[in-house]
Amino acid sequence: MRKITGALLLISILVGGALIWKYVKPRVEERQQRATSDASKTHGKIVVALDNWIGYWPLRSSEMKSQMRQAGWVLEIIDDSANYPERMKRLAGGKYQFAVATVDSFILNAARCGFPGTVIAALDESKGGDAILARADRVASIDALRNKAGIKVAFTPDSPSHHLAKAAADHFNAPEILPPPGDGRRIETRGSDEAIKKLLAGAADIAIGWEPDVSRALMHKGIVKLLGTEDTEKLIVDILIAERDFSHRNPDAAEQFLSIYFRVLKHYRDNPEQLLAEVKNETGLPEDAVRSMLNGVRWISLTENCENWFGISSPGARGQSGMLNTIEATVRILINAGDFKDNPLPDRDPGRIMYSVYLEHLYTSGISGFTAPAAGAGAVPGSLEAKFSPLDEAGWERLREIGMLKVKPIIFQQGATELDFAAKEVLDEAVSNLKHYPHFRILIKGHTATAGDPEENKMLSQDRAESVARYLQVAYGVDSNRMRIVGHGGSRPLPMLPGESKRAWEYRLPRVELVLMREDF
């Protein structure tokens, strides 16, 4: 009996061990594989769900993948052909770390699974990228559509196309644009491409889609555009959504992803011909069609995200809460369209599906909307010795002024360009304020009185501005690449104050201004 019991126990141990090894072995092999390959240098994989809408190009570009790889992440892009319900389900299941959607499709589909993600940025606004197309021999205009029987409409449910149809049906009193569910005239498709194919094949009279499919369709004779989003304002806004658990557990990775996205966006903004060539190569469309297609997208920069969409602004300025307002307006449209009986947002609060922490941090200390010091600068935080990469004339022109640093009048003797002791004391006071803004570049503007020869005044103001820059460089180690000197002479006089005498006004005209500048990421 003991022998039988012992044999059974041994068999149980062997079977149990085999089962355990069956599940453990793949993990061991994966770790070994990673440890003996370049994958050991990566932090892991980030999966982003999207579709072929041209506004998502920066996210799915080779530039994005390359910069993510350099940062130690493998970027995987999932094109789900605009299956928004499934996209939100997979986001809720942790299959995706990020997903993109329009505000309306996010609210409509995420509400069904408890809003598994939060809006961390506005990506773009459709400005001609979405459109209602028709066969001209069947429907030549929206007016011609009214009360016309048998019109078949193809579109992707719960997509930007669907939202555009809802808005047009309501705003133009043309319910024919959106036949009700179950109606034979309503053709639901998986993605814009399928809807356009239905139109071209004659299976649909109207198709609602997005770029690049719209441009492809308009190349065919007899296809017309009834309505495009170039004629709308904040109707279709694309957003980046971070899965809540990933965002909570990996905030640094989420912020890094967003930072790289804005770098890539700026890269393409600074290199439009590269963007044109890459999109042309992928779509196979002629150059004119690609340019038209790209003009239909207005990408939203980091600075715009902060100042115009999420209410984040520089000191003394006031930001706008465009995202909050857009969410509230979209909820009203969806309720009016019958998608919801009541506000579906958690606690009816738009703030519950927004998360601006990453934007705020990038704006104030990251790549930022600021011109960050060059990599490896190594300067002590709060010092003025950080090294900045050089900028050419065009680079400086692309910077944005954020404000003039408060500086007491820097007095020069008549016709003189050198700083005296009093002028240096004024600059010493200004430097104490400048230390609070280590990521800004400095535009040093010189001005003179209005009297005298304009060219001589311009040279004099230039020399005085250079004296200020030289003092900042020698006394405080401010990098010359961080500063730009411009002499305006007397061409930009200050306005006279109420009740100010001409003598007092003229005394204020000779001045040097320190203007803080930032890149618009």
pLDDT of 336 above 90: no
pLDDT for 377 equals: 46
Q: How far apart are CA 465 and CA 455, in angstroms?
A: 15
CB atoms closer than 10 angstroms to residue 97 = 26
Q: Are 446 and 465 in contact (CB under 8 A)?
A: yes
The last residue of one of the domains, among 195, 212, 231, is 231
pLDDT for 359 equals: 94
Please compute, for residue 153, the number of CA atoms within 13 A of its CA located in the half-sphere on the CB side.
32
pLDDT of 2 above 60: no
Whether 353 is covered by a domain: the verdict is yes
Q: How far apart are CA 457 and CA 474, in angstroms?
A: 26
Residue 271 φ/ψ, nearest 5 degrees: -130, 65
> Does residue 235 or residue 449 have the better pLDDT?
449
Clarify whether residues 153 and 108 are in a common domain.
Answer: no
Whether 464 is covered by a domain: the verdict is yes
Clarify whether residues 401 and 347 are in a common domain.
Answer: no
Clarify whether residues 180 and 135 are in a common domain.
Answer: yes
CATH number of 437's domain: 3.30.1330.60
Clarify whether residues 88 and 167 are in a common domain.
Answer: no
The last residue of one of the domains, among 328, 349, 365, is 365
CB atoms closer than 10 angstroms to residue 153 = 27
Chain-centroid distance, C-alpha 402? 20
Whether 30 is covered by a domain: the verdict is no
The last residue of one of the domains, among 213, 231, 249, is 231
pLDDT of 9 above 80: no
H or E element in which residue 164 lies: helix 160-171
Q: Are 69 and 91 in contact (CB under 8 A)?
A: no
pLDDT digits (tens, 9 = 90+) for 151-203: 999 999 878 888 888 888 877 888 899 999 999 999 999 989 999 999 999 99
Clarify whether residues 185 and 207 are in a common domain.
Answer: yes
Whether 14 is covered by a domain: the verdict is no
Clarify whether residues 512 and 413 are in a common domain.
Answer: yes
Clarify whether residues 510 and 438 are in a common domain.
Answer: yes
pLDDT (mean) for 435-459: 88
Clarify whether residues 352 and 422 are in a common domain.
Answer: no
Whether 378 is covered by a domain: the verdict is no
Clarify whether residues 339 and 300 are in a common domain.
Answer: yes
pLDDT digits (tens, 9 = 90+) for 472-502: 999 999 999 999 999 998 898 888 889 989 8
Strand partners, 441: 517
User: Which residue carries 């990673």 as its tokens?
Assistant: 34
> What's the mean per-residue pLDDT of the chain?
86
Instruction: Quote the Cα angle for 401-405-409, to 5°.
Output: 125
pLDDT digits (tens, 9 = 90+) for 38-64: 555 678 999 999 998 889 999 999 999
Clarify whether residues 462 and 485 are in a common domain.
Answer: yes
Tokens encoding 358: 């990453």
Q: How far apart are CA 234 and CA 404, in angstroms?
A: 32
SS3 57: helix
pLDDT of 379 above 50: no
Q: Specify the pTM.
A: 0.67
Clarify whether residues 119 and 257 are in a common domain.
Answer: yes
SS3 333: helix
Q: Domain range for residue 63? A: 41-124+236-365
Whether 377 is covered by a domain: the verdict is no
- Provide the number of structural domains found in the chain: 3
Whether 25 is covered by a domain: the verdict is no
Query: Residue 369 — very low, low, confident or very high, per pLDDT cuts 50/70/90?
Result: very low
pLDDT of 296 above 90: no
Whether 13 is covered by a domain: the verdict is no
CATH number of 244's domain: 3.40.190.10
* CA distances, 335 to each of 89, 154, 295, 339 (Å): 22, 23, 32, 6
Q: To 10 degrees, the CA torsion angle through 365, 46, 303, 476?
A: 30
pLDDT digits (tens, 9 = 90+) for 73-107: 999 999 998 899 999 999 999 999 999 999 999 99
pLDDT for 40 equals: 57
Clarify whether residues 158 and 223 are in a common domain.
Answer: yes
